[in-house]
Structure 1
């Protein structure tokens, strides 16, 4: 029997925590979480007595029949309210979709069907759909080298092995020859992901879908897949239709942990750093703003000291006319996904923004935080370093719109806060 538990980032989860059906989580699941965290340098959560305290990673962890969904939150209100969890579940889905971590239409269709149990099931269903389309169109074949005994001479004879294997059977030839078939890496990855998905999912609907696809899948070798296999893949016109399926296959195979010991439950975790997700989301919302005078630059960097780099999240360049001459002004935005209790910048953040202003010759910079309400702030002045204006401030944007959904139009408001 599958069970689901939803928590917010920075919440605690213990063996006594209750699942949706009122059942305690139990020590076995907590032990698995500890082992998984140890195997990943303790980046996802910290151990507490009989449990864990989550950090800034959101997403989903599935251990056997137990699914733990970790949700983002931009305020501290109503953290145990199920309706609040539904709201932030949808916020996470839509943020992932707009940051191209999952197809937008898959999220829209899922909202209509409401068949999936968790974020993982949504990814799994999309994977089956993508593989099904590829099978319908016809998987690609590739040339590969094959070595072995054949009855008809083809390719190049391997004389050493031919003598070793065919001293008695002189009617055979041990050759290395080319084969044109389906048994190549890209199809092997899809096949392996289907096998793992069949093992990990608790949904009878998804298991049935996997079985139908496996019946139609051509014969390929089942191999152990790791990151190096994905690094070998190259994109071209023939493999382009595979891109979405391979992206999800990579997520399944590289996050699958059958080696976490202590029981027969397989484990799969799909976790996202909320700081990075927030940064990318803000960037993509700024790109949506229809203003040809503003250019949005993402993941900027410059040399700072020896091999150290400085990397502001977003640099805005605004073009303007000065006596008929085209010029540019620069503005810096550094995103921070955390609840800011006091409307005062931290000293370290201020020093960082001062350096950004100096390096990018920016007049204004802003530390941008999520909020559940509108907070008005003003710029403060750095006293040294540049002769002209050198300002910084905190900015706050409401993640939700008036309908309680992820606000997809916050770009304009952000520009008004930092530029005007």
Structure 2
């Protein structure tokens, strides 16, 4: 199988060398990428399919079709590492960001056991899911009482009076019964079986295939439904089955709208893709909630929803949704907008690569939410020409608002809460 790994915004030329991809394989991968919901109207939102090369865009994940696979990883600088070692570290950081965004717990033993340098992102996620599911099944598959309606020779449960004296009036030997029966064929288990079935077709490593075969046997009595027919809203998580929440989140990731099977040139293909902008935003929001958990500040993600304009008929238009609002009570003390793009060194660009549209957007947020502190947060990288943290502080003409530019190094995950807390330090001074 042809396997290639590149970073976002990198180019992969056509050819037979180890750092190239055969043109026929590139065509198949590009076809699957164009069918992704993230590809956009023109089909080029994931990959640019050029005459001489494929070019990744701001979407990461795995695309596979017809004996070839392309893994796209985020552009994260790992100090003192290169080659496969750096690639493994980037996979580790990406899985960490996904775990935070999806509320997954990955213990130290699992992290150590994973082969970050050789296994692709897809195989790593399949391994995490299958291992967690095997452990959960050993403790028992969840069951629930489900209401049944059936015509029986003897009364069971309650009598359905309406049906008994209408439909069954001519057949008094049968009783219209309604009763509750304990069963494992419930929505949660059907979702798990759908994930097992899907992953069994695409897993490549021997260990993943073995675990999925074991799970297929364990779920043999559960109804096999297509992904489109799964009833996610019927899943009930309570104190008896709360430990399945992580597995449900993983299954949603692997079966959701961003993971789809397509057909290209008569061969099956699939993609597991993430928008780094959205993942970075969710990751920062959740880490900020942890960082400020012991203060009177609270973090609101995708909140606010105030409108910019009001029409003559008093109808409000152009609703805003800032990435992150930091509030004290009902007052907004800081607006944070995350941007997954690389800032430039000041020597190369006095504006540091900040988009003018982003600045206009932050000015609107300051006015609408009556907040003087506005923050644009970027991922840090080695070529930024500065240290991580505050990289720009600007006053806004004719008012007290200030626009800050911050960077955060996601390659350093050990103390990221402390570093994010430091970013909000001026908002915490009155609390301490």
| Common topology (TM > 0.5) | yes
- Contact kept, 8 Å, 1:98 with 1:284, in 2: the verdict is yes
Q: Distance in 2 between matches of 1:101 and 1:418?
A: 27
CA shift digits 1:184-205 (9 cap, x unpaired):
2222222222122211211221
TM-score (ref. length: structure 1): 0.78
Which 10-residue stretch deviates more, 330-339 or 113-122? 113-122
Q: Displacement of 1:75 after TM fit?
A: 6.7
Matches within 5 A, 1:384-395: 384=398, 386=399, 389-395=400-406
Which 10-residue stretch deviates more, 281-290 or 230-239? 281-290
User: What is the aligned length?
Assistant: 400
Which 10-residue stretch deviates more, 179-188 or 253-262? 253-262
Q: Give the 3 Å change call, closer, same or farther, for CA 407–272 of structure 1 in structure 2.
A: farther
Residue 313 (structure 2) aligns with: none
Matches within 5 A, 1:272-291: 272-289=274-291
Residue 129 (structure 2) aligns with: 127
- Contact kept, 8 Å, 1:366 with 1:395, in 2: the verdict is yes
Q: Distance in 2 between matches of 1:199 and 1:393?
A: 48
5+ residue gaps, structure 1, are 320-326
Q: Distance in 2 between matches of 1:153 and 1:303?
A: 60
5+ residue gaps, structure 2, are 310-315
Q: Give the 3 Å change call, closer, same or farther, for CA 6–394 of structure 1 in structure 2.
A: same
Q: Give the 3 Å change call, closer, same or farther, for CA 69–101 of structure 1 in structure 2.
A: farther
Matches within 5 A, 1:97-176: 97-100=99-102, 102-105=104-107, 109-114=110-115, 117-146=119-148, 154=156
Q: Distance in 1 between matches of 2:47 and 2:237?
A: 39
1:308 counterpart = 2:318: yes
- Contact kept, 8 Å, 1:60 with 1:270, in 2: the verdict is yes
CA shift digits 1:2-40 (9 cap, x unpaired):
443211112234654756798774433333323336886
Which 10-residue stretch deviates more, 332-341 or 138-147? 138-147
- Contact kept, 8 Å, 1:296 with 1:316, in 2: the verdict is yes
Q: Distance in 2 between matches of 1:363 and 1:38?
A: 35
Q: Give the 3 Å change call, closer, same or farther, for CA 174–356 of structure 1 in structure 2.
A: closer
Matches within 5 A, 1:4-403: 4-13=3-12, 16=15, 25-36=25-36, 41=41, 42=43, 44-50=45-51, 52-63=54-65, 65-74=67-76, 81-100=83-102, 102-105=104-107, 109-114=110-115, 117-146=119-148, 154=156, 178-217=180-219, 219-226=221-228, 229-254=231-256, 255-267=258-270, 269-289=271-291, 295-299=297-301, 300-301=303-304, 302-305=306-309, 306-317=316-327, 330-341=333-344, 342-344=349-351, 345-373=354-382, 374-375=386-387, 377-384=391-398, 386=399, 389-401=400-412
Q: Give the 3 Å change call, closer, same or farther, for CA 19–352 of structure 1 in structure 2.
A: same
Q: Displacement of 1:338 after TM fit?
A: 0.5
TM-score (ref. length: structure 2): 0.76
- Contact kept, 8 Å, 1:3 with 1:66, in 2: the verdict is yes
- Contact kept, 8 Å, 1:60 with 1:271, in 2: the verdict is yes
Q: Distance in 2 between matches of 1:278 and 1:334?
A: 11
Q: Displacement of 1:230 after TM fit?
A: 0.9
Q: Distance in 1 between matches of 2:145 and 2:291?
A: 47
Q: Distance in 2 between matches of 1:329 and 1:27?
A: 49
Q: Give the 3 Å change call, closer, same or farther, for CA 244–40 of structure 1 in structure 2.
A: farther
